[in-house]
């Protein structure tokens, strides 16, 4: 029986590094990582069957519902192989494009990684990106084909694909089913055999890598670390390298999979510490923890401040909810070091916040959590990137809100550029290239992963991706394409600001920074959309798109001519009075742009990235 | 003080697709027999009982107008309707020139039934014609044959009705301006004294409303309905009718006094299933389903389903919303200063007639009539 009880397994702080294996699982959303992790928890006996629930490690509802892991966690699993008792630390990594940095830190805490691929679908772009990240970190890769129980499984085809990617023999791929448990015990044995034990100097000053940091309402910030050198002891005073701030360590322990306090953590061990800080920004992913009494001199490599790449204005639908929004953002920030925000006022949308995100998914998740956890209804402006401008007088300006983009006297505009990797069946190559070309992409290369699957690499302006690129890619490829991107710097772009004017009044929420060649199309699209969305008013309302003072597109909303219900007899009177009162209330919720009443729905639909706006009911 | 009376007859042979009135077909009532008359027997009894309730509550008041609406009142034999009229006369008494109207479906009457109606006391009749174009009637899901309309209007004239009205509907999907013009010409060729014309309203919960929601039927542009209204007002005026309410035109002295009672917030009692009543600032409405209505009356209780007492503010809104629709308009001295500013703005835009305005009344101009709801909404906001 390879599972061993926790009590008789090697204990935290007393485990010989030679008996430790640290690994993470690299997988795409839906490829069964959480199911495999659940199965490992069960087989190693750390979670009894009756306590098992699906996706045990994903704590947030939103994670369980969306089937994705946002925050990683580390679980200590005892396992007996070839007659010896080992400790396997499974470090669960986030699985999405926006969290590359967090993934890279999780990987840096491991010696090996399981490359988990659904053998009915094959590898996806994000997985590939993370695989390369693991290979750059010199991790031992164990290729694992999951879902072998599926009728559509093609283990041979994808074993070839994986072997070609990582340079191994197809027979090295381990075939498992997280769902049935088939092959999982063998996989645990292979983790012990193939992944090297951690190396480290037990007598050196303590150095531990923070690979995750989570705010808990009851405990404050829980910091997840991997000890590289030395030892962290219960009640040590610890120090963060990046800030130099010292903290009393209130508790140290391991997760198995509930937290178990321990006397400390030794070389190669993975666990958590609690210091009573209330804000994850004081305990940052990638930072190095050392002890205050005997501090290490050199930090571990690789620490980076999170840099927001995508910005959007968030506004409460109901202006009175502004304080609630502020509180909710502050609360989220306790748990999300990458989220930045500052107050912003829009003439059209009122008081809100300009928020910076790592990427689109990060933005979506934040928005969804605000709406769900604080019961807020929000309007968000179209996402944009950060622009760096040099003005004619030599001044440098950073623009995170398109409405603040200066109207003239600009010498140069620089925009962020990403390297994008797209994996897709080869039949879609033409369609993908057409899309990327239309988004100012430059082809960097293309490789066949297998006979019918291809990896396409482009550099693209991030601003071209943030709007509706991914939806477009998915629809062009019937959902088969996957996308990964990473920032590679900035480039000069021929960018202009397009303003939208209602009856001559600029609507700040609709301003967009756009490549000059696309400005006209944007103007036509936006004015057309608004013409459909804004109800007719008492007077004619021109809708214009303009670059500076030059009008590039124009639509008209004709004045309303008929606004009366034909019938009003005895039985209609009460109903009609109530309708008028309801409409009067509705008028209060209208946003006024000059004299033009714009319903909030129009803002929401016009700002949505999807086609919802186009589907909106035509009122004319 | 005098009282107006509405009597609701909630039965139709067939429900038209666009109609959301409180009406039931014999099939919907599931009482074994298909004959409306047999179903209605108990209903008329209940109406007579409600008259007793009303008499007790209102005290002595003569009735100045009576209006039978539906449903299709003329589905019932005249002698059944007469039982109601007689009881009203016994308990309340009618004023000398009491206006007694019934709505009629052209298909549900003939020369002899019209004569009977006239004999039992009805002196005004309003025919639901809607359109003469078969394809328009088909969209409305109407049954009648428009050739019959001319006959029955002439029959009504021969029977001696004082006032004859027809109802038209415009703005039905598929109806062109020419179609409507033809319906209008036809109506004006008849010996009538009064015309009502309504832009079609899409009501939720109707077959037609569902078809519109599903996109199977597309409602015409409001601008087109506005065109039709202008055409309507022009033709009807030329034919010697004058507007006295947004959707109503009459020859001199033939205004419907019953409807004017609604618009001037007079007292009226609505008898029957789902009927609304108004007595000095209090409104209530009866239980909707005729079967439940009959049962509650039989059990000796009040047939009212719910009521509301109008606040002064409610009354002010209602007065504005109703009177603004009328040719007589509304006195400017009823408004507060900020409301007058709003009205002034509309006046500047030509929504009110200058002569009346100068003599202290807000009376909508032709363009203004088309925007009446907007005016009300802005004034109360």
B327 plus B180 within the same structural domain: no
Residue B29 maps to which CATH number?
3.20.20.70
Please tell me whether residue B360 adopts helix, strand or coil conformation: coil
CA A167 to chain centre: 30
**Min CA distance, A588 vs chain B (Å)?**
9
Please indicate, yes or no, if residue B307 is contained in any of the structural domains.
no
pLDDT at position A198 is 96
CA distance B87 to B80: 11
Q: Which residue has the tokens 């409301």?
A: B339
B131 domain residue, yes or no? yes
Chain B partners within 8 Å of A580 (Cβ): 317, 321, 373, 376-377, 380
In a domain, B123, yes or no: yes
Cα angle value A218/A220/A221 (rounded, 5°): 135
Asked if the Cβ–Cβ distance from B374 to A577 is below 8 Å, we say no
Whether residue B6 and residue A570 make contact (CB cut-off 8 A), yes or no, is: yes
Q: Which residues of B touch A566 (CB under 8 A)?
A: 197-199, 201, 246-247
Query: What integer pLDDT is reported at residue B31 of this predicted model?
Result: 55
Report CB contact under 8 Å: B222, A561. yes
Write down the pLDDT at residue A351: 93
Q: Which of B263, B290, B307 is the C-terminal boundary of a domain? A: B263
For residues B16 and B160, membership in a common domain is answered with: yes
Whether pLDDT at B258 is above 60? yes
Q: Mean pLDDT, to the nearest integer, of A565-580?
A: 91
Q: Which residues of B touch A584 (CB under 8 A)?
A: 377, 380-381
The per-residue pLDDT for range A63-86, each reduced to its tens digit, is 445 444 444 478 899 999 988 999
Nearest to B283 among A574, A581, A583 (CB): A574
Query: How many structural domains compose chain B?
Result: 2
A204-230 b/e (C-beta count within 10 Å ≥ 16 → b): ebbbbbbbbbbbeeeebbbbbbbbbbb
Q: Which of B263, B298, B328 is the last residue of a domain?
A: B263
Classify residue B310: in a domain, yes or no: no
* Closest C-alpha to A175, from A152, A153, A148, A141: A148
Q: How large a percentage of chain A has pLDDT more than 70? A: 93
pLDDT at site A41? 87
**Residues in A touching B272 (Cβ below 8 Å):** none
Is B381 in the A-facing interface, judged by CB distances under 8 Å? Answer: yes
Q: Indicate whether B292 belongs to any domain.
A: no
The alpha helices in A443-515, defined as continuous H runs, are 462-465, 469-476
The partner residue sitting opposite A561, judged by closest CB among B263, B274, B370, is: B370
Q: What is the mean pLDDT of residues B243-267?
A: 97
Q: Kindly state whether residues B325 and B256 are assigned to the same domain.
A: no
Contacts of A573 in chain B (CB under 8 A): 262, 276, 278, 283, 318, 321-322
CA distance B162 to chain A (A): 22
- Residue A588 to residue A319: CA distance in whole angstroms: 11
B188 with B334, same domain: the answer is no
Q: How many other CB atoms are there within 10 angstroms of residue A357's CB atom?
A: 26
* Burial letters B118-148, b for 16+ CB under 10 A, else e: bebbbbbbbbbbbbbbeebbebbbbebebeb
Pairing of strands A541-547, A512-515: unpaired
Give the model confidence (pLDDT) of A269-311 as tens digits: 999 999 988 888 888 888 999 999 999 999 998 877 777 889 9
Asked if A565 and B308 come within 8 Å (Cβ–Cβ), the reply is no
B322 and B259, same structural domain?
Answer: no
Which residues from chain B sit within 8 angstroms of residue A576, using beta carbons?
321
Which pLDDT tens digit goes with each residue over A357-393? 988 778 888 998 899 888 998 988 889 999 999 999 9
Whether B191 and B321 share a structural domain = no
Chain A nearest CA to B114, separation (Å): 25
Domain match, B98 and B247 both: yes
B335 and B216 in a common domain: no
Determine whether the interchain pair A580/B373 forms a contact, defined as Cβ–Cβ distance below 8 Å: yes
Q: Give the span between the Cα atoms of A528 and A444, in whole angstroms.
A: 36
| Residue of B101, B307, B350, B380 to mutate, interface with A, max A Cβ within 10 Å | B380
Is B352 part of the contact surface with chain A (CB cutoff 8 Å)? Answer: no
Closest residue to A562, CB basis, from B270, B370, B380 = B370
Considering only residues 353 to 372 of chain B, which have any Cβ-Cβ distance to chain A shorter than 8 Å? 367, 369-372
Residue B297 lies in a domain: no
Chain A positions with Cβ closer than 8 Å to B: 538, 558, 560-571, 573-574, 576-577, 580-581, 583-584, 587-588, 620
Q: Would B304 be classed as within a structural domain?
A: no
Which carries the bigger pLDDT value, residue A191 or residue A571? Answer: A191
Residue B96 has pLDDT above 60, yes or no: yes
Q: What is the mean pLDDT of residues A403-408?
A: 88
Do B117 and B206 fall within a single domain? Answer: yes
Which has the closest alpha carbon to A495: A581, A416, A425? A416
Average pLDDT estimate for A261-268: 94
Average pLDDT, chain B: 93
Q: Mind listing the pLDDT tens digit for each residue in B196-245?
A: 999 999 998 899 999 999 989 999 989 999 999 999 999 999 999 999 99
Mean pLDDT of chain A: 87
The residue of chain A with its CA nearest to that of B246 is: A566
**Of B6, B226, B322, which is closest to A562 when you measure between CB atoms?**
B226
Contact B349/A at CB under 8 A: yes
Residues of chain A neighbouring B318 (CB-CB closer than 8 A): 573, 577
Q: Are residues B27 and B121 in the same domain?
A: yes
pLDDT at residue number A66: 47
Contact B239, B185 (CB under 8 A): no
Please tell me which residue, A600 or B106, carries the higher pLDDT value.
B106
pLDDT reading at A187 higher than 80:
yes
**Beta carbons of B317 and A567 less than 8 Å apart:** no
3-class SS of residue B363 = coil
Picking from B269, B376, B378, B379 by the largest number of A CB atoms within 10 A of its own CB, the best residue to mutate is B376
- Name the residue among A570, A583, A588 with its Cβ closest to that of B270: A570
Entry pTM: 0.69
Whether B222 and B352 share a structural domain: no
Using CB atoms, pick whichever of A565, A569, A620 lies closest to residue B259.
A569
Per the CB < 8 Å rule, is A568 touching B325?
Answer: yes
Q: Pick from B219, B238, B263: which residue ends a domain?
A: B263
- Tell me: do B375 and B258 sit in the same domain: no
Q: Which residue of A has its CA nearest to B288?
A: A571
The answer, yes or no, to whether the previous bond of A257 is cis (omega within 30 of 0) is yes
Residue B6: closest C-alpha in chain A = A570
A436 vs A445: CA distance, rounded Å: 13
Name the band, by pLDDT with cuts 50, 70 and 90, for residue A54. low
Asked if B318's CB is within 8 angstroms of A573's CB, the reply is yes
| Residues A124-149 pLDDT 10s | 887 888 888 888 889 999 999 999 99
Q: Give which of A521, A514, A549 is closest to A402, Cα–Cα.
A: A514
- The single residue listed with the structure tokens 């319903």 is A599
CB contact under 8 A, B370 and A564: yes
* A589, pLDDT greater than 80: no
| Chain B residue with Cα closest to A563 | B371
Please judge whether B285 and A571 are an interchain contact, meaning their C-beta atoms are less than 8 angstroms apart.
Answer: yes
- In which domain, by residue range, is B328 found? 315-380
Indicate the pLDDT class of residue A58, thresholds 50, 70 and 90.
Answer: low
Q: Is there a domain that residue B277 lies in? A: no
Are B222 and A560 inside 8 Å of each other by CB? yes
């Amino acid at each position: 029986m390879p599972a061993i009880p926790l009590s008789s397994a090697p204990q935290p702080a007393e485990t010989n590094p030679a008996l430790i294996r640290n690994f993470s699982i690299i997988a795409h959303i839906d490829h069964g990582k959480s199911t495999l992790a659940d199965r490992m928890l069960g087989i190693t006996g750390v979670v009894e069957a009756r306590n098992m629930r699906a996706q045990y490690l994903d704590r947030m509802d939103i994670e369980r519902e969306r089937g994705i892991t946002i925050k990683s966690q580390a679980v200590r699993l005892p396992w007996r192989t070839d007659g010896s008792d080992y400790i396997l630390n499974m470090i669960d990594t986030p699985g999405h494009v926006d969290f590359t940095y967090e993934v890279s830190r999780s990987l840096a805490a491991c010696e090996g990684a399981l490359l988990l691929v659904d053998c009915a679908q094959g590898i996806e772009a994000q997985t590939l990106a993370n695989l390369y990240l693991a290979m750059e970190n010199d991790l031992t890769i164990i290729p694992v084909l999951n879902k072998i129980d599926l009728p559509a499984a093609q283990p041979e085809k994808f074993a070839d694909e994986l072997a070609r990617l990582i340079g191994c023999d197809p027979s090295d791929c381990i075939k498992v089913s997280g769902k049935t448990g088939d092959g999982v015990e063998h996989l645990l044995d292979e983790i012990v055999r193939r992944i090297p034990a951690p190396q480290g100097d037990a007598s050196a000053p303590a150095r531990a890598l923070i690979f995750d940091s989570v705010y808990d309402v009851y405990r404050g910030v829980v910091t997840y670390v991997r000890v590289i050198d030395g030892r962290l002891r219960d009640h040590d005073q610890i120090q963060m390298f990046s800030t130099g701030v010292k903290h009393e360590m209130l508790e140290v322990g391991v997760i198995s999979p509930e937290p178990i306090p321990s006397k400390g953590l030794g070389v190669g061990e993975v666990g958590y510490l609690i210091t009573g800080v209330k804000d994850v920004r004081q305990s940052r992913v990638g930072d190095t923890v050392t002890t205050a009494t005997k501090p290490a001199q050199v930090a571990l490599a690789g620490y980076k401040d999170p840099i927001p790449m995508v910005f959007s204005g968030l506004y409460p639908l109901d202006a009175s909810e502004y304080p609630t929004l502020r509180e909710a953002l502050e609360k989220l920030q306790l748990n999300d070091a990458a989220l930045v925000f500052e107050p912003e006022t829009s003439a059209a949308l009122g008081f809100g916040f300009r928020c910076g995100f790592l990427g689109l998914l990060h933005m979506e998740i934040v928005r969804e959590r605000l709406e769900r956890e604080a019961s807020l209804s929000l309007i968000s402006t179209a996402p944009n990137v950060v622009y760096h401008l040099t003005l004619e007088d030599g001044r440098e300006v950073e623009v995170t809100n398109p409405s603040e983009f200066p109207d003239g006297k600009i010498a140069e505009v620089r925009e962020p550029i990403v390297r994008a990797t797209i994996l897709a069946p080869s039949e879609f190559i033409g369609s993908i290239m057409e899309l990327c070309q239309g988004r100012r992409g430059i082809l960097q290369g293309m490789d066949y992963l297998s006979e019918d699957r291809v990896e396409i690499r482009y550099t693209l302006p991030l601003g071209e991706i943030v709007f509706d690129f991914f939806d477009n890619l998915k629809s062009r490829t019937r959902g088969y394409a996957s996308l990964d991107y990473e920032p590679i710097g900035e480039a000069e772009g021929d960018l202009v600001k397009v303003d939208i004017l209602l009856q001559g009044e600029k609507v700040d929420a609709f301003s967009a920074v756009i490549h000059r060649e696309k400005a006209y199309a944007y103007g036509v699209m936006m004015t057309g959309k608004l013409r459909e969305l804004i109800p007719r008013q008492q007077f004619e309302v021109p809708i214009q798109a303009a670059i500076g003072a030059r009008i590039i597109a124009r639509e008209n909303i004709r004045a309303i001519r008929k606004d009366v219900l034909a019938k009003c007899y005895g039985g209609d009177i009460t109903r009609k009075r109530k309708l008028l009162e309801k409409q009067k209330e509705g008028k209060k919720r209208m946003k006024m742009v000059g004299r033009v009443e714009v319903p909030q729905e129009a803002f929401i639909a016009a700002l949505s990235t999807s086609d919802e706006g186009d589907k909106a009911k035509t009122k004319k | 003080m005098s009282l107006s009376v509405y009597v609701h007859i909630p039965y139709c042979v067939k429900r038209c697709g666009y109609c959301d009135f409180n009406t039931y077909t014999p099939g919907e009532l599931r009482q074994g027999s298909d004959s409306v008359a047999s179903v209605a027997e108990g209903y008329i009894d209940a109406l007579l009982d409600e008259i007793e309730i009303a008499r007790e509550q209102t005290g002595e008041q003569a009735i100045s107008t009576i209006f039978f609406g539906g449903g299709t009142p003329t589905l019932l034999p005249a002698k059944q309707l007469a039982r109601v009229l007689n009881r009203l006369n016994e308990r309340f008494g009618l004023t000398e020139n009491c206006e007694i109207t019934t709505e009629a479906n052209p298909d549900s009457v003939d020369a002899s039934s019209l004569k009977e109606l006239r004999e039992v006391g009805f002196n005004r009749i309003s025919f639901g014609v809607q359109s003469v174009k078969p394809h328009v009637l088909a969209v409305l899901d109407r049954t009648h044959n428009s050739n019959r309309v001319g006959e029955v209007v002439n029959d009504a004239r021969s029977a001696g009705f004082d006032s004859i009205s027809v109802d038209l509907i415009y703005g039905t999907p598929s109806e062109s301006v020419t179609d409507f013009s033809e319906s209008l010409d036809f109506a004006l060729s008849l010996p009538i004294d009064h015309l009502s014309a309504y832009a079609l309203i899409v009501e939720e919960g109707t077959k037609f409303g569902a078809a519109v929601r599903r996109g199977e039927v597309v409602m015409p542009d409001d601008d087109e309905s506005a065109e039709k209204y202008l055409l309507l007002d022009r033709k009807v005026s030329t034919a010697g009718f004058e507007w006295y309410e947004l959707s109503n035109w009459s020859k001199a002295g033939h205004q419907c006094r019953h409807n004017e009672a609604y618009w001037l917030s007079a007292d009226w009692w609505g008898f029957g299933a789902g009927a609304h009543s108004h007595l000095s600032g209090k409104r209530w409405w009866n239980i909707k389903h005729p079967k439940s209505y009959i049962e509650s009356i039989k059990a000796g209780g009040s047939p009212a389903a719910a009521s509301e007492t109008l606040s002064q503010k409610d009354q002010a809104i209602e007065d504005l919303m109703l009177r603004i629709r009328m040719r007589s308009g509304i006195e400017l001295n009823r408004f507060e200063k900020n409301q007058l500013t709003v009205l002034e703005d509309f006046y500047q835009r030509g929504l009110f007639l200058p002569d009346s305005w100068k003599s202290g009344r807000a009376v909508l101009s032709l363009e203004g009539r088309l925007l009446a709801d907007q005016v009300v909404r802005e004034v109360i906001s």
